[in-house]
Homo-oligomer: A and B are copies of this chain.
Amino acid sequence: MTLGERQGDEKNDSKYCGVETEFNDDMPQLLSLNIHGGFDFVVAPLMDPTYRPSLLVSSNGGSGVLPFAGSDLVLSPSQWSSHVVGKISSWLDLDSEDEMLRRDSEITLKQEIAWASHLSLQACLLPAPKGVTCANYARCVNQILQNLSNMQLWLRVPLEKSDDDDGNRSPNSMGEEHRDSWEMWNSFRTLGEHHSQLSVALDVLSSLPSVNSLARWFGEPVRAAIINSNSFLTNARGYPCLSKRHQNLLTECFNHSIQIVISGQQMQNFPTGTSVSNSHNSNNQSEGVEGMQRHPLRSYLDYIAYLYQKMDPLPEQERFELGYRDYLQSPLQPLMDNLEAQTYETFEKDTTKYIQYQRAVAKALVDRVPDEKASTITTVLMVVGAGRGPLVRASLQAAEETGRKLKVYAVEKNPNAIVTLHSLLKIEGWEKLVTIVSSDMRCWDAPEKADILVSELLGSFGDNELSPECLDGAQRFLKEDGISIPSSYTSFFQPVTASKLYNDIKSHKDLVHFETAYVVKFHRVARLTSPQPVFTFNHPEDSTRKSNHRYTKLRFEIPTDTGSALVHGFAGYFDSVLYKDVHLGIEPSTATPNMFSWFPIFFPLRTPMCVQPGIPLEVHIWRCCGTSKVWYEWGVTSPSSSPIHNCNGRSYWVGL
């Protein structure tokens, strides 16, 4: 059974809900009880919790039979792997001062994981580190991970952080007292080199840290949220429910494919014979097999299912983009390469974008030609980078809408798109209105000057597809008082936690991939501050400024109630002023709605940087221009210095 179905979200793991159990020798019975009770999987101890290797040696003289919960034969291989998460013994303390306990813990950890691996379990839950240090625990897990097949290890981390004195905590609190469990996690995974099979199971407690502090976790590899029955409240009708903040947290978990696990005991007797879920929905077939006792945690499960089902369905655009989530793409190089028909096809469908262009052109036409001269003056409009004609169409529609007379030049360097343009003219009957020019705008010898220059050369980071260089080249044939649409654009930077992206880049095992910017639909990402503007370009540019070289230094302050956070890199966006108040962009706070042409861009850091509360994050970005290419360099100087990334554009550049 699952928590429910959600349209377009069929692959979301979070529809499966698990339950944490006690050790039980009879694994088939344990599983049957819980599956029939409505859960999808159990998080069950694999080893008798009284086992200690040091006692075993002296007691049985080494018969070698370890006290596991049943042999591998008691369940089918698919039962083991689909329905059982191995819960590693919770007594383990690998950083104990007691050497005997430490060594027993090491041996047992290795034995249990080896057993789980033998059973082909998909995951094991590692107990939370006991003390303030976890170096030996991290080392053992790291050793194990080097030779582990596909199994995930979920490190249990209590979701706790004391907020009372974030501002003035000393930076060496690490090792002194762990008030922020994120720091323990960060140390653990850093010691383990960010291994991709090491993830987090958050223990959700009855009180929650601040919203900012919670938000960090959604950039981390959290696979499960374990919620104890004692974190539930009781509603007026006597059923379990959760506080509003807990509900929001669970919704975020569902949205991030984080599986819920219910743990603990039934806290009180709930009204019998019915369940809270009945009052909310009719998902009734799961009432349990006849004759079997109702699962003691069933009311909690029903409530979780209720929360799952009452979520809003995914918007259509989100559903369409599901497959792109957190998938790294190299940015287009439309100047150096010619776009393919498929690419034109996709982008031309973005009606929102062309509506904005039409509005901008319309406003420019009205500003340029007063009503009384509408019938006498013909405005010369050049679409530079016309592609297969969508901006030509938007411009002609703007002319019609405003009753202005228009003469259009459609300049396009891609000879394949020129074919389509010619055919478009015939079909639409635009032959007298539009002149097609097959040329690179940077070298076209225009027969007259334009009143309005229209282009769509922007990349996710604004200037990263070389709009400035192209428009500088086209400015020769714009009248002195002419208008460029867009008239300006600005790029933005925002520090993010993005461990999934970091691991994908790391998997290439080279420097080049860490010095490349990627177009990516962010999903499992934590945005740590508001974005800040980076570079702005204006068109037409007054001629005194010759260079498109840029340098900007930004200083980000992460809210102190966030706690420490790991910065894997920077999300990049743009916003563009098409004309006056008509803008277009993807900067989150002002993003144009329902536009899908651009995903954000991601600038990674070779070494993720941990930023502690109250300490600014200072980053430097350069836009460098050579004779045949343009590239970015970037680096951090606070809290500590990183290397400068992409020196001389050695890894990533855009060809002129």
Contact = CB atoms under 8 A, between A and B. Distances in A.
Interface string A351-371: 000000000000000000000
A380 interface: no
A139 B641 contact: no
B175 A620 contact: no
B174 A143 contact: no
Contact of A139 (B187, B193, B644): B644
Contact of A643 (B147, B191, B547, B643): B191
A641 B566 CA distance: 12
B192 A135 contact: no
Given A143-B647, A172-B638, A644-B139, A553 B615 contact: no
Interface in A592-643: 607, 610, 612, 614-616, 618, 620, 622, 633, 635, 637-643
A648 B553 contact: no
A135 B638 contact: no
Given A139-B644, A620-B136, A607 B610 contact: no
A576 interface: no
A142 interface: yes
A310 to B, nearest CB: 41
A281 interface: no
A171 B644 contact: no
A343 to B, nearest CB: 34
A103 B620 CA distance: 16
Contacts of A138: 644
Given A553-B135, A633-B139, A635-B135, A187 B641 contact: yes
Contacts of A637: 133, 135, 174-175, 187, 191
A78 interface: no
A435 interface: no
Contact of A641 (B147, B190, B547, B612): B190
A284 interface: no
Contacts of A102: 551
Contacts of A175: 616, 618, 637-638
Contacts of A58: none
Nearest to A94: B551
Contacts of A553: 133, 135
A146 interface: yes
Interface string A167-181: 000011011000000
B172 A635 contact: no
Contact of A644 (B192, B551, B648): B192
Interface in A182-211: 186-187, 190-193
A460 to B, nearest CB: 23
A142 B637 CA distance: 15
Interface of A: 102-103, 133, 135-136, 138-139, 142-143, 146-147, 171-172, 174-175, 186-187, 190-193, 547, 549, 551, 553, 607, 610, 612, 614-616, 618, 620, 622, 633, 635, 637-644, 647-648, 650
Given A135-B553, A135-B635, A135-B644, 9 more contacts: A136-B622, A142-B644, A171-B615, A172-B616, A174-B638, A174-B640, A190-B643, A193-B647, A610-B640
